[in-house]
A and B are shown apart, each in its own frame.
Chain A
Amino acid sequence: AQSVTQLGSHVSVSEGALVLLRCNYSSSVPPYLFWYVQYPNQGLQLLLKYTTGATLVKGINGFEAEFKKSETSFHLTKPSAHMSDAAEYFCAVSRSSSNTGKLIFGQGTTLQVKP
């Protein structure tokens, strides 16, 4: 069965610093992997996704993630944090390759950006 673990429920960085949000997954099938962001009082918005092909995936707002099969990881990074990046971030894995609508989500990581 698939599962997702996000390491660290809260991450705090200074503005301009590197953002690293960690995600490890387990999957019995080739995974489709996603990062979503949720701003306060809003729904979730897709940041980026990995399906097949290039393992380094670029998303919106300067975020990127690298799929590392050997480490079963899909960590999210951004070189320089902005105050507007403060939000909750969710990593997710597709339950099956036939219908990726059904996702399994991690517990979420709240990113705080300090001035």
Chain B
Amino acid sequence: DVKVTQSSRYLVKRTGEKVFLECVQDMDHENMFWYRQDPGLGLRLIYFSYDVKMKEKGDIPEGYSVSREKKERFSLILESASTNQTSMYLCASSFLTGVSGNTIYFGEGSWLTVV
């Protein structure tokens, strides 16, 4: 089975702190994603990576950065956490080629509260 593992399920951080959310996948997927999930808004793409050291901004990249030094690991960084970044964060991965409509596999999510 594909496994996407998010290291922290629940975090509470203070405003202004630097926050790292870590994600690891074990299926040798090229694509990795970070989404943010908020009630009534569905999932919104923060950042996307299709290869090591490659990244693309998604729909809501402001206040976030990412790092992909190894193929299996994709980190989301909140440089200076703010209360409006309190949310559920979902990591996901998939194979690169999209001809057949590749399935995205999701981690279980990280609930971040910024106080």
Contact = CB atoms under 8 A, between A and B. Distances in A.
User: Bound pair: A and B?
Assistant: yes
Interface of A: 4, 9, 32, 34, 36, 41-46, 49-51, 90, 92, 94, 96-103, 105-108
Q: Bin chain B's interface residue count.
A: 20 to 34
Nearest to B4: A43
Interface in B68-111: 90, 92, 94, 96, 98-109
B90 A100 contact: no
Interface string B46-80: 00101000000010000000000000000000000
Given A99-B50, A101-B33, A107-B42, A43 B106 contact: yes
22 contacts: A4-B42, A9-B40, A34-B101, A42-B108, A44-B92, A51-B100, A51-B101, A90-B42, A94-B98, A97-B98, A99-B96, A100-B94, A101-B104, A102-B48, A103-B43, A103-B45, A103-B104, A105-B35, A105-B43, A105-B44, A107-B40, A108-B40
Contact of B90 (A43, A51, A98): A43
A41 to B, nearest CB: 8
Contacts of B105: 46
Contacts of B104: 46, 101, 103
Contacts of A101: 31, 33, 48, 50, 94, 96, 98, 102, 104
Contacts of B96: 99, 101
For B4, B33, B99, B104, which residue has the most chain A Cβ atoms within 10 angstroms?
A: B104
A34 B104 CA distance: 10
B43 A90 contact: yes
B4 to A, nearest CB: 7
3 pairs of A and B residues whose beta carbons are closest in the complex: A51-B101, A43-B106, A100-B98
Given A96-B98, A97-B98, A101-B33, A46 B42 contact: no
B40 A43 contact: no
For A96, A97, A99, A103, which residue has the most chain B Cβ atoms within 10 angstroms?
A: A99
A40 B96 CA distance: 29
A94 B41 contact: no
